[in-house]
Chains A and B, each alone.
Chain A
Amino acid sequence: MRRGEYILKRLGLAVLVIISVSIITFIIARVVPSDPARTWVGPRATAEQIAKATQKLGLDLPLPMQYLRYMGDLLHGDLGVSIQSRQPILRDLRVYLPATMELVFFSMSLAVFIGIPIGVTAGSKRNTWFDHASRVLSIAGTSMPTFWLGLLLILLFFSKLHLLPIGGRVAREIILYHPVQHITGFHLVDTVLTGNWIAFKDALIHIILPGVTLALYDIGLTIRMTRSNIIEVLSEKYILAARAAGLPNRIVIFRLALRNAIIPTLNLLGLGFVYALTGAIVVEVIFTWPGMGNYVTKAILTADFPVIMAVTLFVTVLYVFINLAIDLLQTAIDPRVALE
């Protein structure tokens, strides 16, 4: 029953956190120095237009009432309207979210399929040249400014080698002659599902550079954490016992050590997700990738606060759900987690 208790507690905590997050986002949004009504109607508005906007936006209500109205809107799926595009923000998000998610999943896959094997090998072969080289890679990856790396890669692969495009997600010819059907919103998946191989190749060459740029930080992080996890697991007594019994090294690693290193790896995925998401903001700007990062950056430049707040809230709630899912998954795999 400890596990059931834990799950309930965890769910309750998540709800509490989401409410607190919305309160904080609301407070930040109201700290804005400029009058939201004035920004809404524009610089050449008359006094009565401003008054009308103030009433329409509910700014004349007391603060707690405003918050309740805000929460009510949120629960109906209304994230507000962008000052820039005058469109409901939710609709903008529906367009931009798949692009960012595709980038995030692509780079997280790179981090998992490159970082974990390297980390495991480095951890099991400590103090060899491979270990030292992977330490260098991991520290360099977590120290490198993402925007700088992106620019360097563009310089190399676009300017000098002419191998990859300078940015964007789809080439114009593809939009005109081989349009991608919208099934999941992920170009890489949709093109495969519809057999649109020309568009698939195009989507691939467009996603490689931004994906790699974004992935480097996560690769560095994954290598470092996987390496220390493996080292910790390998120092356990039962590993020593298995080796003393004569089990070959490969079996020791694959069947014993890895299974127990899975739990911290799940934690790592959650961490990697948030770094990928925030790193995507910068990567999308550099590569003009049409996703949420670009959307938020434009909102910063045009002081479109509803957008900034809505995206912050949306991404944070997403992050809370992901953490919740990871915690519940961990409890399912290893009941000992509930006892902590």
Chain B
Amino acid sequence: MTSMVERWFGSWARKRKSQWEEYGLMGRAFCRDWLALISLLIILIFILGAIFAPHLTPYPEQGRGEPNIAEKLSPPSREHPLGTDRMGRDGLARILFGGRTSLSIGFLVVAFGIAIGMPLGALAGYFGGWVDMVIMRITDVFLSFPALLLAIAIAAALGPSFTNAMIAMAIVWWPWYTRIVRAQTLSLKERAFIEAARGIGVGNLTIITRHVLPNVTTPVLVQATIDVGAAILTGATMSFLGLGVQPPTPDWGKMVDVGRAYMLIAPWDATFPGLSIFLVALSMNLLGDGIRDVLDPHTRRLG
């Protein structure tokens, strides 16, 4: 395997041989952790289900929101494995299409949070001084707000919609990444290779982008994985309260809210979307734990 890499990529790969070996170790350590593997599988199933939703169900229009009043509130059966909701729409189709909204809000919010928080954290940690103080004060103020409450306030002010909910959540989420990256940058700053680069005369911006940022990705990656689960949960909560997408666009949180009224006569309507939220959040949490164990060089070698 290593010799194949060497032949194809030549000297560039030879220099990084130990890094490839380490990646191999990571992969093998990950595959030993069956809990993390199952979680990854579950997440992939949901993601693929959301992407290929129109092809996976015989009722794609119902998934998008077309009513089918004739069969409303029917229990799980062979034609409708998850039952139908109050407008007669097939439960499975709604969950597949709802996954598009609910899952994407989780990933997008974390992506934006990292995009904003990581550079700010690196700048604060690297330059120190008043840059650090200003950035950290702003971060502290945003962290003083209870997360959900701030998101609700912003989303309510902007108006209920998918984009506004996403903006609101991104505003709440970025400070966490600033803190993590800043702490990592501070400990990285004293390392010899940074000093060496500065000694040669490498510009500050280049140092940050080529040396600092790649090395702070480890804790950010672990945090991001767990955060996607938390973001999906928060997004669902906001839709439940009425602040996310509006019907008829399907969204798991909203489906639980609407199904709540029929909880006693048609419990399947609210149960299955909630179960999906739970499974995805659970899997992301377990996956994050698994990734953390893999990325730590000690536990990587323990199995």
Cα of A17 to Cα of B142 in the assembled complex, Å: 9
Q: B74-109, CB under 8 A of A: which get 1 and which 0? A: 000000000000000000000000000000000000
B141 and A145 contacting across the interface, CB-CB below 8 Å: no
> How far is the CB of A199 from the nearest CB of chain B, in Å?
27
- Closest B residue to A146 by CB, please name it: B237
Q: Is A244 an interface residue (CB 8 A)?
A: no
The reply on A171 being an interface residue by CB < 8 A is no
Partner of A28, one of B147, B153, B263: B153
Q: Given that A159-B264, A281-B241, A300-B156 are contacting pairs, would A147 and B146 also be in contact in the complex, using a CB cutoff of 8 Å?
A: no
Chain A interface residue count, CB cutoff 8 Å, equals: 49
Per-residue CB proximity of B130-173 to A under 8 Å, as 1/0?
00000001001110111111101110111100000000000000
Report yes or no: B157 in contact with A305, Cβ–Cβ below 8 A.
yes
Contacting pair A147 B237 (CB below 8 A): yes
B141–A315 CB distance below 8 A: no
Tell me the complex Cα distance, A296–B153, Å.
10
A-side contacts of B289, CB under 8 Å: 139
Contact A24 B240 (CB under 8 A): no
| A323 CB contacts on chain B under 8 angstroms | 144
Which residues of B are found within 8 Å of A31, using beta-carbon distances? 157-158
Contact between A145 and B233 (Cβ–Cβ < 8 Å)?
yes
| A20 partner residues in chain B, CB cutoff 8 A | 137, 141
Contact of A142 among B260, B267, B274, B285 (CB under 8 A): B285
Contact B282–A312 (Cβ < 8 Å): no
B242 touches A (CB below 8 Å): yes
A277, B285: Cβ atoms closer than 8 Å: no
Bound state CA distance, A144 and B282, in angstroms?
8
CB of A308 closer than 8 Å to a CB of B: yes
Q: In the docked arrangement, what's the CA distance between A305 and B155, Å?
A: 11
Structural contact, B156 and A274, CB atoms closer than 8 A: no
A140 CB within 8 Å of chain B: yes
Residues in B with CB closer than 8 Å to A154 are 263
Name the one of A151, A159, A297, A315 contacting B274, with C-beta atoms under 8 angstroms: A151
> Which residues from chain A contact B146 at a C-beta distance below 8 Å?
274, 277-278, 315-316, 319
Interchain residue pairs A-B with the least CB separation, the first 10: A148-B274, A143-B281, A278-B148, A143-B282, A20-B141, A312-B153, A145-B277, A274-B146, A31-B157, A278-B146
22 A-B pairs with CB atoms under 8 Å apart are A17-B141, A17-B144, A143-B229, A145-B233, A145-B253, A147-B253, A147-B257, A148-B274, A151-B270, A159-B263, A274-B146, A281-B148, A281-B149, A282-B241, A285-B240, A299-B156, A300-B156, A300-B242, A301-B242, A311-B149, A312-B149, A320-B144
